[in-house]
Amino acid sequence: MRRTLPLACLGALLSSTCLTSSFVAMADETPAVSLDTVTVYATRSPQSSFEVPAMTSTVEADAPGNAMAGDTGDLLEFTPGVEVANGPRRNGQTVSIRGFDDEAIITMIDGRRQNFEAAHDGRFFIDPSLLKRVEIVKGSSSAIYGGGAIGGVIAFETKDAADMLLPGETWGVYTSAGYRTASKEYSPVISAYGRTGPFDIIGVAALRNSGDIKQGDGNELISEDNLISGTFKVGYSFNDFNTVKFLYQGLHNDGTEPNNGGGAVTAENPVVEKRVNDNQFGIKYEFSDPSNDWLNPKLHLYYNDTEVREEDVSGTNAGRVQTRDMNTIGFTLDNQTALGVSDMQKHTLSYGFEIYHDDQTGTTTNGGTRPGVPNADATNYGFYVQDEVALQTDAGRFLIIPAARFDSYRSSDDAGNSQNEHKVSPKLSMSYLPNDNLMFFGSIAQAFRAPNLTEIYASGQHFPGGGPIPDNFFVPNPNLRPETVTTFEVGAGVNFDNVIADKDEVLVKGSWFISEGDNFISEEVDIFGGTTEFVNIPNARLSGFEVDGQYQLHPITAKLGLSYVEAENRDTGEYLSNNVPLTLVADLSYSATDIDSIFGLRGRFAAANDKVGGDNLSTAGYSVYDVYYRWIPSEPGLETLTVDLGVSNILDKAYTTAFATLLEEGRSYNVRVAYKW
């Protein structure tokens, strides 16, 4: 049981969570719902997000406000510590965590690695309407997920039949339709699902048709998408313990936008007809017997094929066709063993093996290799082991988690260049709870990132010159070293109820971190020398903090998140492009149960991003507000209806985020109506 907060602590706590005593008048007798969530990806086993020694966030895709999202940026923009880079065009969006770009983050969809790499396109392609939730683990995670998890892990999970079926139901149909005015986008969805005997099945199909994007300054951004996507899953349970599941996810998008979706239309960045085809297959097997503490194996074999085809529709290269294709085949084997040494000491051992192979091909109309897209391949494999040690003592509870992973990778290109490296990634984290209300945690982790195929082997023309500026060409660098980062993190949290009124609850958790990097990989463009090469920065440092706070006093729920990252080259003192200005996200909602409604207001507030170096441009600070409303009628016959209304960027603010050069979407009136049959 949580304790009532002592009065001596009340003032400081309310200040830290920006709450006021006016909430007291809104309280009623309805019990509060716990603000704590469960994280799986932080440790590979279910843990309390409050108690785990890490900072995590979970985004429910169908939550009020989120359900109207048109792309990943809409879905994640109010998540503390997370930036969606490259502007509002969906094809170019990537995710940044704590200033680390998408190359330093492991992205997964239903456990499948998303290894597609492109400087001008996104790393993954998925429609938000297919998603159940997104879980974000912030900080070094290479010890259990392998190379690339320097900045964290972002895990997308699509919907299962079990998520749609109510108790006693065996089948159902779900339909929805939405519209966003800023991009003139409509988005119908249909899903059918069922469960009978040993089988469960779900199929989801989503359409999305959108036009040019209205920006906050009144201009329109050339962008047209005609997108169809879907998932299909069928599971079969041989008995109570053995389950096998087949998964398919596909997306096809015919769009019109510049070659670089994150930039403005110029002679060097012409408009193209862009076609994205993404097909992903997986088969999973799981054995789960609650009476067997030694065996809980999970096997996953998957195959991803992502192709982006671009045809110039104007300019000197009109009619030119260029493609980028990435195939990934991967396999993972994970197991957990539970050991109860005593009533006061329990161990959960997680261990496993992973191997995956990437094959990239780039072509252009003349039959040659596409500039900047080398024909190359890479094979990675790794072993990991982790022990979650739960200790109960007279002084409180401890969760001690040592982990280590060995990774090896080999890559080569068609020109005969190659690279072969291996690395051990250790990690030690611990949380301490003297009681149910307080927690302290700390961790030290070493992580690495192998350079990707483009960074090592890119060749050909990067961009044409003009006047005194010569044509610019990529220079391959097969001697590029992997990044190695050591991260130290300390944090604390409080979790109280009955703070300023009966049956309320407040949860605050925060941390400070510092990441010391060796051989940071950076793109070096020599404008007058006519070269672009990926090089190593010997010594870099990223440091910052994050605070995540939530308060609930029915019918009010308030959420706040504060984050900041500063990055510099320690040898030169120059700021790096990884800086994230002080950013606050907030969400305030009111549940009007007597009229079956939820009202919400949320905002994102960022200081100016003026700590920039090299050719990077500073961005002004901004404040953006959204409002949302959900109606869930309780009348018989309408109880499965959901109506969502909202206005995003209600002040029509013209603003640019830290990792973008384009203005974001302006004011948009959004609607979605959903019904379960």
Q: Report the pLDDT value the prediction gives residue 386, as an integer from 0 to 100.
A: 97
Q: Is the pLDDT of residue 22 over 70?
A: no
Identify which of 508, 518, 380 has the alpha carbon closest to the alpha carbon of residue 453.
380
Over residues 331-348, the mean pLDDT reads 94
Measuring CA to CA, which residue among 56, 9, 63 is closest to residue 33? 63
Q: Which amino acid is at 676?
A: K
> What digits encode the pLDDT tens for the residues 583-618?
999 999 999 999 999 999 999 999 999 887 766 678
pLDDT computed for residue 213 by the predictor: 97
Percentage of the chain beyond pLDDT 90 is: 77
pLDDT tens for 478-510 read 999 999 999 999 999 999 998 888 889 999 999
Tell me the pTM. Answer: 0.92
| C-alpha to C-alpha distances, 630 to 72, 213, 627, nearest whole angstrom | 21, 25, 11
Domain chopping of the chain, boundaries: 7-167+175-676
Tokens coding 67? 């359900």
Give me 326's structure tokens.
């990435």
pLDDT digits (tens, 9 = 90+) for 72-126: 999 999 999 999 988 999 998 999 999 998 889 999 999 999 999 887 788 889 9
- Going by pLDDT thresholds of 50, 70 and 90, the confidence category of residue 10 is very low
Full 3-state SS string of 424-493: EEEEEEEEEECCCCEEEEEEEEEEEECCCHHHHHCCEEEECCECCECCEEECCCCCCCCEEEEEEEEEEE
pLDDT digits (tens, 9 = 90+) for 246-300: 999 999 999 999 988 888 888 888 899 999 999 999 999 999 999 999 999 999 9
Distance CA(337)–CA(416), nearest Å, equals: 44
Q: How confident is the model at residue 27 (pLDDT cuts 50, 70, 90)?
A: very low
pLDDT tier at 531 (50, 70, 90 boundaries)? very high
pLDDT reported for residue 321 = 94
Residue 18, Cβ density class (10 Å: 0-12 exposed, 13-18 middle, ≥19 buried): middle
Q: Which CATH class is domain 7-167+175-676?
A: mainly beta
Residue 549 confidence (pLDDT): 96
